[in-house]
Amino acid sequence: MSRDIDRRAFLKAAGGAAAAATLAGCAADPDESGTGTEDATDTQTNGGETDEETTETDGEDTTTLTFARGNTSGTLDPQNSTSGEDVKVTNQVYDQLIMFEPGKTSLREGLATDWSLEGTTVTLTLREDVTFHNGEEFTADDVVATFNRFTNPDYEHYPGDKYISAYGPFTIGNWVKSVSKDGDYALTIQLNQKYAPFLRNLAMFASSILSEKAIKELGQDLSKEPIGTGPFKFENWDTSNQQIRLSANTDYWGEVPKVDEVVFTSVGSNTTRAQTLDSGGADIIDGLGAQASKIVENSSNAKLVSKAGI
């Protein structure tokens, strides 16, 4: 069974300081040669034959994509993080109202299907028939609760100044005067002043939309039990082995994932991480230096995909 993985569909672009790594090693596609491009699909090969990691479950094969990175996550709550390593995981679990086109700075529909910014007034039409991973329907109440949790110390479920990251005021708190809903699927945001980049702030990872029910029930435990609307659902976090496992959200409102599960694992050494890719122990790695990049470039089982940083 061939396993073709669209990097852009899987690795949703992260905004701000958590942009994609400048160098990423990927398992090679046997039908392509030379240096990879952003549009290339990535398939792990071994001597010309496809090498797949599958798990037998009730007679069915489960396809697993393994992402080896330089460090583990510190939290899985996007309101508790300033780390790009965290965002690699949370951007698979959560969506934003407006989202970046993968690998680009242009905007596309997310949990909002339409929006406008006129002066200091932002209006958004929300997507209907979206379900959180806990089974709750997504509505305007979740957006209001998300903003309050991130920026309002008087909110009953505000997790505390020490818990909330610096992105709280940076993305929302410094600009938003009020958020009001008009029914279940319409929102109006009033800004303190004109601020043209605000729509892009809504597309940043820190503006991920949380479930109001999860906010109330889990509090700071969202740092280890994330619940979003994204293409992958959180399964478990093996902290002793620095491994996080996600499963495909088959009810996702957008394009359904092409793999059944994703495993994020940590390999601290750049060289060892490159060797892990070359030997088939990982499908994607990133954060390589010049020396480790040469291992991927010289590999017959992998290819190097490079991209300019922000």
Write out pLDDT tens, residues 157-192: 999 999 999 999 999 999 999 999 999 999 999 999
Residues of the chain with CATH 3.90.76.10: 96-214
Residues of the chain with CATH 3.40.190.10: 5-70+231-306
Q: Report which residue type is found at 41.
A: T
Task: Please tell me the distance from the alpha carbon of residue 72 to that of residue 266, in angstroms, as a whole number.
Answer: 6
Task: Please tell me the distance from the alpha carbon of residue 33 to that of residue 26, in angstroms, as a whole number.
Answer: 13
**What pLDDT is recorded for position 32?**
36
**What pLDDT is recorded for position 61?**
80
**What pLDDT is recorded for position 28?**
52
Q: The pTM is what?
A: 0.82
**What pLDDT is recorded for position 27?**
60
CATH class held by domain 5-70+231-306? alpha beta
Q: What is each CA distance from 15 to 99, 149, 209, 304, in whole angstroms?
A: 9, 20, 15, 23
Q: Report which residue type is found at 154.
A: D
HSE, side-chain direction, 13 A CA sphere, residue 254: 22
Three-point CA angle 92, 213, 254, nearest 5°: 35
**What pLDDT is recorded for position 33?**
31
Task: Please tell me the distance from the alpha carbon of residue 82 to that of residue 19, in angstroms, as a whole number.
Answer: 12
Describe the crossing of helices 290-297 and 270-279 by its angle, rounded to 10 degrees.
Answer: 10
Q: Report which residue type is found at 211.
A: S
Low-confidence residues in the chain, pLDDT < 50: 1-24, 29-52, 54-59
HSE, side-chain direction, 13 A CA sphere, residue 140: 16
- CATH number 3.90.76.10 given to 96-214: yes
